[in-house]
Structure formats: C-alpha cells, structure tokens
Amino acid sequence: MTVNDLHAGKVNDGFRPNASTLSQNWHTLSTDNVFTELSTSPSGLTVAEAQNRLKATGPNVLRKHRDISIIRILLRQIQNPLIYVLLAATLLALGMGKITDAMVIFSVVVINTIIGFVQEYQAGMTIQKLLRMTPAQVTVMREGEQRNVAAPELVPGDYVLLQAGDRISADLRLTSVKNLQCDEASLTGESLPVAKDTEPVEEEAVPGDRTCMAYSGTFVTHGTGEGIVVATASNTEIGKISELLEAAQEPETPLTRSISKVAKWITISILVVGVIVLGIGVARGYTFTGAAFSAITLAVATIPEGLPAVITIASAIGVRRMARRNSVIRHLPAVETLGSTTVICSDKTGTLTRNEMTVKALWNGKHYYDVTGIGIEPEGEILHAASGEEAQENHIGELVRAGVLCNDASLEEQENGTWKAVGDPTETALVTAGRKLGIAEDELREKWPRLDEHPFDSERKIMATLHSSPHGGKVVYVKGAPEAVLRMLGSTQGVAPGEISEEALQFAASGLRVLAFASKELDAPPTDGITEEILQDGFRFLGLQAMLDPPRVEVKEAIDTCHQAGVIVKMITGDHPGTAAAVAQELGLMAPGQTVITGHELQGMDEVEYQRAVERTNVFARVSPEHKLRLVMALQANGEVVAMTGDGVNDAPALKRADIGVAMGITGTAVAKEAADMILTDDNFESIEAAVEEGRRVYDNLIKSIVFILPTSIGLGLVIFVSVLFFPSQGGVPLQAMQPVQVLWINLITAVALSLPLALEVMEPDAMHRPPRDPDAPIFSGWIVFRMVAVASLMAGGTLGLFLREYYAEISRDIPPAIALAEAQTMAVTTMVLFQAFYLIDCRSLKYPVTKIGLLTNPMVFVGIAAVLLTQLAFVYFPFMNRWFYSLPLKADAWAVSAAVAFTILPVIGLEKWIRSRKGS
C-alpha cells in the first residue's frame, strides 16, 4: 500500500489492534508510517470499519474500576485490631450470659463504625471522576466527510480535526498543525501551552517533549490541527495513569501500625492473664463459673473499650480544625500521618508557584529594568535596575507598547476587585506589564488599531501585527523567540546581535522565558497586509521581556518553617530543568552544589542509584507519572514518611501511593482529588505547613488520650487480678472490688468523657522545633511506659485500699455483707473516677507542667471534669443508677477520703516530669 493509496482513502478493512499497535512509540514514527500502521488516511475510516474497530478495542472510556460500595466502606471501619478485640469481648460476654455487658461493649463498635463511615462517605469515595475527562463530541473524518461523533466511539485510526477550545479525547499523532498550542499542565506539569509540530522525536522523549503528539485530557489553546487516533481508553497516557492509580497501594499509617502492635500486646496479655485468673480461681476453690466470671470481668476491665472511639473522635476534631485552616481531610488516619511527615514532594506549577506568568525583567538594549508585583493583578512598578527609579514611558514605552499591541490577551476587573485573564498566560503577562507602566490595553488598541496580523508560527516562532499609528503611518510590531527576531533586524542597530543573544541566554539561564520585540515603520501602506517580504528584515530592535511563573509570596516562609521542623521539601515537576532550578533557588530548595535531575536521567538508574538520587537531590524536572510514583516509593524505601502534593492527572498515582496525598482544591483535577487524602481549598503551600503543624498537634493529643486511657484499663485489670489472687471468696465467687458493669462505667463513660477534652489541647511549645518522629519507633518511650505502670499501680493500690477499708468497716458495724460490698464497690468506683479527674490535668502535657501551657488554655478539660463529677453523683445517688450498676449512696466523708487518695497522683507525676526535665529527655 502506498501513501497515495492512503490519501485516496484506500484502507485495509482487515485491521485489528494487536500488541504492536497498542504499545507503539508513535512519537518516533513519521506521519506516513503512522497512516500505514493504522491502515487509515486523511479521509478517515469507513463507518463499517469504525464499527468493527470499536468492537475490537471497546469504547473510548476509561475502565471503571470497582466501585467503593457503602458495604465496603462500612466493613472497612471495623478493620481495626482494637475493634477485633472488642468484638471478641462481646462474644465472650454473650457466651457467659452477660447480655448487658455485651451490649455495652458492642455499642462502642457501633459508635466507632458510624463516625468513620459518615466521615468517609461524605468525602465522595464512590464518585469515579476519571470518567469525566472525556468530552461529549469530537469532529472526525468518516468516509471523506466531517462528522461529529461521541467521544466513546473514537477508535485507533480515526482522523480527528482540532481547533482552539477543544478538549482532546484520545491520544493523537499529529499530521498537520497551524499555530497549534496545547495546554498539557494537568498531564505533564508544563506551566505554558506547548507549541506542536508534526516531526517525530526521539524514543526516550517524555510526554512533555513529544511535540508531535496530542494527549487525551489536554486541550487546545491556540491554532488548529489534525491527527490520527493512536490510542483510546486505557491505552492513552491518562489511561495508563488510571491503571497506575488502581495498582498503587495506600500504605498503613504510622499510628495505625503502632496501635496494631499495642492491640496485639493487649490481646495476648488478656488471654494469658485471663487463663491465669481462671486457673488461680479454680485452685483457690472457686467454682468454675465464679472463676470464669472473674476472667470475663478482667477482660472487660483490661480492654480499653473507649480507645477506638477516642481515636476516631479526636481525629474528627482535628479534621474540623484543619478545615478551618483550608485543609479538607478525606480519610481520618491522614490526620496523624501529617504529624510524622518527613518529606513533602511538591509539584511546582500552581502549588509552589501561582500558575500565572509574570514579567520580571526588561532590557531595552542599554539598561535593565525590574518589574515588581506578581500574577495577573496589575499592581507593581517598573523600576530602573541601577537607580531604583520608576521607569518612564520615553525609556521603555515602545518596548512595553509592542508587548501589548502584538497581543490578543486582555484583563478584566471583576466586581469583587479581583482580575480575570482572558487569553494566553504569556500574553497576559505582557498586558499586565503594560498596566504597570500606565498603559491600558483597550485604550492603546483603540489608538493603535490593528490592520492585520501574522499569527504565531511554531516554525518561525514569531507573531506580527500591523497597526495604524496615531502619529500617522503604519507600524509592524513583532514578538517571538530572540533567535527568530534577530534574523529580522536591520543592519543598523544600536546594539550588536551578539550582545542581544548573550543577554537572552543569561535570562534563560535564570529560568526565565524570554521574548524579543522589534518594530518596523512602513513608508507606504501595504495593500496585502503583512507579507513575507515585510517580515524578511529591516526591523528595529526594541528589547527583551523576561518572565516566569513566580513562586507564591508566602511559600518561602512556609518551606523555611518545614525545614525548621525537620521536614524536607522536594520539587517534582514536569517543567523544564532551568525553570525548576530558578524557582527552587528562589525558594531555598536547592543546597549549594545540588543539581536538577531529569526524568531522562532517572530512567537509566537502577534501584540503588534511584534511592541515592532521591536522598541527595531536592529538585526533579521533566518527570513522568511513572517517575513520580517511583520517586515516592524510593523515598519510602529509605524510611521516609512522604507527603505528595499535586493538582494534575499526572500526580494521581503518586498521590495515592504516598503516605499522605495532598491535592489542590481550586486548580486540582477531579482525578487528583479522588486519589488524595487531603485537599487544600486555597491551593496554598502555606496551608500544607499549617496542616503539618495541626497534624503534630493532633498526634500529640492522640498520644495524650492513649496515655490517659491505658493506665486506667491496666489499673482496673490489676484491681481484678489482685482480687482473685488475694481476696477471700463468698459462696465460691471471689470478693471483687468492682462489678463488670461498674468497670464498663469507668471505661466507657468517665474515661471517654475525660479523654476527649485532650483532643482540644493547645499545641506543645516545641511541636514545630523538633524533628518528625520515627515511624518505626515504638508509640511509647521508656518514660511513658514507666509513667503508665506507675499510674496504674497507684490507681489500683489506692482503689483496693479504700475498698478493703470501707468493706471491713461496714462489716464491723454488722452491716449485711451484700450492702457492705455494694458500698465498698461504690467507693472503689468513685476513687478510680477521681484518680482519673486529677490525672487528666497532668496529661494535658506529657512533658511540661500545666503552668507552662497555661492553666486555662483548654477550658474543656474543666468542663469534662465537671460533667464526669455530675454523672458520678448520679451513679452514687440516683435510684435507677443504683439498680443498673449495683451502687449505693455514699456519705460526705467517703468522698473526702477518696479525693484525698486520688489527689496523690498530681505530686507523683509532677515529680516524674521534674526528673525527666533534669535529665533532658
């Protein structure tokens, strides 16, 4: 088959997709070869052939991965080791006939599940946003005629027509372009529209450098083009990212891993001690039922029933606090992960930068000028670089005027005082620069009406416009690449061409995009507009304008704060190395001697080299989605806890694989938001630093809650264990200091109510001045373990002592044993509750005395104590509570004794903190 046959519409109706055509490096082939490979032509496919290919390849729709159903979300909430322990305790209680105990324990499981389910369901986990990346209609050639077909009906070999504003529906090998530019920021991270051509590129070129390709999910910003569909659905670049996203595994969070270890330890301990208690009871002559009753009581006492609820509720409180700081958390575990983040991998465009081009410098052939202000807002000045004086229009007015006239963009002020850009980002930057010199584009264009234009030509790399001068005559202004404009200059210039080239190179080396400007006055008005003859030579050089996508003003300070907190920030972008280096240096991301590593360089590295590269390098440019994912995995292999920020489709797999994925809420694509754990509502990197700060606070407060709850459970377990081991029996049943339902009262009502205020504690003074915690380090340090054992022993000892004192005092007064036991048990419960109330004050900081963090900085602590004391009064004095919990009213002196014994915990923990501070730990 010849090329002529193809152009005549003679195609091979026997075409079928195979491994070769689906995995072809289309960017390396000539257009003729692509026509041959896909058996198609500019006349398009026949309707019959298109239908056959559609049957063979399937619709052009990204494969819809398994939906996350309500049932799966619900089941995921109970996939927690502590929940397993609670379910086991529920079954054990049912087996012993303790229906009330079983119902109370199971209620904790239900509450915890509901909280987690609501949080996850509201995040919109069931929405498959990848399916929204394909537009409804596409213009194609079928049987030599233009037709609009539904995007899902596109097949390999279809011939597609493109124009400005079109969103591209499949991967295309371009065959014809006219000033075609595509915005590929969401796919490649490239901040500027990419000029397209039809020439093949080298095989190793990453998607951002494949100028002969147009990819699904991107859109046309300028010009027109034609191309052959070479990949649809999951075989497109977006489809490959979708597959990566599905394959990427979400790692377990550090706290989840630590809690799993604690839960396993608790489970094993309960089983071992339960068997010991059962054996001791039988050995001491208790009935088997009585001994088993003691074992189940011990299990109920030792299991921290309130812990899962406390962790979930405390995390939810952190979620609400973060929402007020512009960070929306989609998954509760992400809250505590933020606190242990060691590396933030940030995309550049729109995350570290504003995604708005800004002219930063001008050169008129003699002098340099600095441009202040950033973004599209026309606020700022143009200043003489040497003197700092404000530039005058007679100095650089024609250079700036050329940028505004040879331009199709404009600025529109909105009702709320903000500005909206209409047009190409680069041209918008030129208009903004004009406004800073007092030149309004609408007024200028009215005075200098455009008579003709030569649109930007990707081959010639220039744009030219013809204007009628208000002073009489006609003027042609041209802007473009410096090397292109140099070829158009006349022989008599005030500056040498070599000097112009040198200045342009210096700007480019600083990561700036450089445009050169020139003008040509015409002696006689042209009758045919801008002709090739006019564009040949004779232009007068006006100067250079250099621009970049500027970093956000607040980002450098946020990065400095992250560094201060021991968090490394790395830039991973699809943009050019020079641009990435310039932004990184301005933000302080590149240490002396560091260089930028490109995706091409990463491609040739083995795993060891890869891990070394990610350890020593902070800036990676021209990277593909696979590179980003592999970079995150390499960092995790180095033991890092990785947060990945991004807004594009290309970021989604890495966002999902990272320990904490952070998507942009304004500029972020739906795919990125779906893959992320956290969404920034203001697209501000500063909010990431605030989230890390809040994450550390949440983690610290979670640990405080755990350190508060566990000693109570251990102390209750000790109370039951000692009772079985040493106390006498009554009718074959050991004399116990507490009933099972009384233990549940302490664990569920008082422990939870008192621990929740800790979730509202202020941030520790050193929270952002210490390195991130080691994710593999045990959740509790040696000091914390010592404190919990000491507190549990003190609580158990004080409670048992007062129980025995009250019981035998009542027996000595000839009070019936059942009443004496109920009164003594009521006093034991009251003592344990008061122990917790005093211990709560010490737990407000695990390191510092309460005076350092402020006695009244968290009033909810005292609200919680007051609430628990009121409920304890009900436990003691309300008749219906006496019936439910086997309690009896106490005299005032019993309360006083209990309070005095419980108060001893304050000086004990105070002494421990003092010793710890003296040792510097």
Known catalytic residues?
Answer: 347
Q: Which amino acid is at 572?
A: I
Cα(321)–Cα(698) distance, integer angstroms: 10
Which 8-state DSSP code applies to residue 353?
B
- Residue 727 sits at φ, ψ, to 5 deg, of -80, 150
- Sign for the pseudo-dihedral over CA of 874, 875, 876, 882: positive
Beta bridge partners of 516: 480, 544
Rounded to a whole number, what is the distance in angstroms from the first to the last CA of the chain? 81
Note whether 278 and 295 are within 8 A (CB). yes
Cα(420)–Cα(414) distance, integer angstroms: 7
| Mutual angle of helices 254-283 and 288-302, in 10-degree steps | 160
| Mutual angle of helices 81-95 and 307-324, in 10-degree steps | 150
Q: Compute, in degrees rounded to 10, the torsion defined by CA atoms 129, 130, 136, 137.
A: 160
Cα(864)–Cα(820) distance, integer angstroms: 31
Cα(84)–Cα(15) distance, integer angstroms: 56
Cα(697)–Cα(565) distance, integer angstroms: 13
Paired tokens of 204: 């190793």
Closest CA to 736 of 835, 813, 828: 828
- DSSP element (H, E) containing 571: strand 568-572
- DSSP element (H, E) containing 102: helix 99-122
The total of other beta-carbon atoms located within 10 Å of residue 122's CB is 9
Q: Distance of alpha carbon 591 from its chain centroid, rounded? A: 25
Paired tokens of 131: 């399916």
CA distances from 294 to 95, 284, 287, 707, 817 (A): 14, 13, 11, 26, 19
- What is the 3-class SS of 494-549, one letter each residue? CCCHHHHHHHHHHHHHCCCEEEEEEEEEECCCCCCCCCCCCCCCCEEEEEEEEEEC
Pairing of strands 171-183, 194-195: antiparallel
